[in-house]
Structure 1
Amino acid sequence: MSDKEALGPPTKSALHNEEWHPNIVVGVDFGMTHTGVAYSYGPEWPPPKTIQRWPGKLPGELANKVPTCITYGSDSKSISHWGFQCDIDNSEAETKEFFKLHLAPQYARDGGPSLTEAQKWFQDYIRCIYRHVVSYFETTIPQFVMQRVEFIFSVPTTWKDVRMVEEIRRLLMQVIDARNPNHRACIGLTEAEAAAVYAGNEHYGVGHRFHTKNQV
């Protein structure tokens, strides 16, 4: 069954329910070098599907993750390329990568980019991811414009400062929530928790049992 057949149009109760519930949940694993995106949809919520088609790859080429990098034009403001489109070996191109490191306020700058610069690159990159995901859904899901979509982002386990996590949430909301009232961004599991869930899904299925020993 295709995504179109499984999801279908949102029900009237979902559209008029004052309590917001998503029809589609998108998980975004924003990584230092690569970023992965997977999604599931109601009402049955099948196992997440990974988005494998990205700009810069041939139609038949699949990739579970896209490079976390972005290239700016000569004005240093407009985005010219992102992900697989970036030419990392081109020393003349203004390509930004590894900026996840610089999002932490306590990170030693040592002449590197400022926190403000890192936040701008982060928002621009997430905006590219968001636009691609929306474009993908527009061609695979009927009446996507009416669907409620929740984007869940993981955060590094080392980001223990609540203020920093809230700042990242604010940056994400500016990119996603402000563009479409039916789309929302939130921060979910830490990377360690997400890895544990992934490992559990990979190695354990229905019928598996976990045995524990009682401790005195």
Structure 2
Amino acid sequence: MSSIVVVAIDFGTTYSGWAFSYKSDYERDPLHITAKAVRNSCISHKVPTCILINADGTTPHSFGYDAEDKYVEICEKREQHQWFFFKRFKMMLFKEKGMTRRDTLEDETGKKLPAMTVFSLSIEYLRKEIVDTLSNQIVGIFNASEIGWVLTVPAIWNDAAKQFMREAAQQAGIPGKNLRLCLEPEAASIYCRNLPVKKNTKQEVESIFSVFIRNKVSCP
């Protein structure tokens, strides 16, 4: 997979996010990564895994905090039955046979949509957000085919669940030839292998130990 930039989507159970790294930056520093910017947040680069879908059931309105805020407004107007709002639906894939294309998900008001639609629209929203961010950074003509995509999945998922996510990503506009699935613990392991290692001196170890003992003694 030849690409000038690699994008990773972490589609989480509770929170989701994305990050990317240009090939040229990675060659100089593997930890030179640009992550999703969350609204004035210095704590996390992720947003809640929830999506608000328009009444037609085929187009996403918003995702994450924006979806939550809009849904609150909708509920205040008592118009929630005219929308579809799904949250924390990822682990529905964690079952013996995985999820099929015929399965449905219930939103917060009990309305149903095909599970494939909910997953693909969520990934589509994140994909468009990423492409818009990259387009604003790259000068000149930007070819979306030059993006390599990585989608993380839990190691406990079976092959059926992984295939479901792959198909959802392709329906969301990510070319299958540019897509790789990565197990979440393996992604974490690769990241940790590139972290700089600092060897503590004897004095630093003694200082850390003394602080630990002091805090331990002060605990009731």
Question: Does 1:39 find its partner at 2:20?
Answer: yes
Cα–Cα, structure 1 residues 126 and 203, in superposed 2: closer, same or farther, change >3 Å?
same
Question: Does 1:156 find its partner at 2:137?
Answer: no
- Please tell me whether Structure 1 or Structure 2 has the larger radius of gyration of its CA atoms: 2
Aligned-partner residue type, residue 157 of structure 1? A
Cα–Cα, structure 1 residues 77 and 33, in superposed 2: closer, same or farther, change >3 Å?
same
Q: What is the RMSD computed on CA atoms of the aligned residues?
A: 3.4
Cα–Cα, structure 1 residues 78 and 21, in superposed 2: closer, same or farther, change >3 Å?
closer
Cα–Cα, structure 1 residues 136 and 122, in superposed 2: closer, same or farther, change >3 Å?
same
Deviation at 1:168, TM superposition (A): 2.0
Contact 1:29 1:153 in 2 (8 A): yes
Question: Does 1:49 find its partner at 2:36?
Answer: no
Deviation at 1:117, TM superposition (A): 2.4
Cα–Cα, structure 1 residues 116 and 72, in superposed 2: closer, same or farther, change >3 Å?
closer
Q: Could you state the TM-score of these two structures normalised by the residue count of structure 2?
A: 0.66
Gaps of 5+ in 2: 107-111, 200-220
The secondary structure found in structure 1 opposite 2:165 is helix
Question: Does 1:174 find its partner at 2:171?
Answer: yes
Contact 1:102 1:118 in 2 (8 A): no
Cα–Cα, structure 1 residues 116 and 165, in superposed 2: closer, same or farther, change >3 Å?
farther
More helix by proportion, 1 or 2? 2
| Count of aligned pairs | 178
Aligned-partner residue type, residue 35 of structure 1? S
The secondary structure found in structure 1 opposite 2:142 is helix
Mapped partners of 1:43, 1:36: distance in 2: 23
Mapped partners of 1:201, 1:144: distance in 2: 32
Cα deviation code 1:35-57 (max 9, x no counterpart): 12111112341324232325xx3
Gaps of 5+ in 1: 1-19, 208-216
Mapped partners of 2:98, 2:148: distance in 1: 33
Q: Could you state the TM-score of these two structures normalised by the residue count of structure 1?
A: 0.67
The secondary structure found in structure 2 opposite 1:153 is strand
Cα deviation code 1:176-216 (max 9, x no counterpart): 335xx9x82221x31121222334444637x9xxxxxxxxx
Which residue in the other structure is 1:3 paired with? Answer: none
Cα–Cα, structure 1 residues 78 and 36, in superposed 2: closer, same or farther, change >3 Å?
closer
Which residue in the other structure is 2:49 paired with? Answer: 68
Which residue in the other structure is 1:16 paired with? Answer: none
Which residue in the other structure is 1:140 paired with? Answer: 137
In percent, how many aligned pairs have the same letter?
22
Cα–Cα, structure 1 residues 116 and 186, in superposed 2: closer, same or farther, change >3 Å?
farther
Which residue in the other structure is 2:189 paired with? Answer: 196
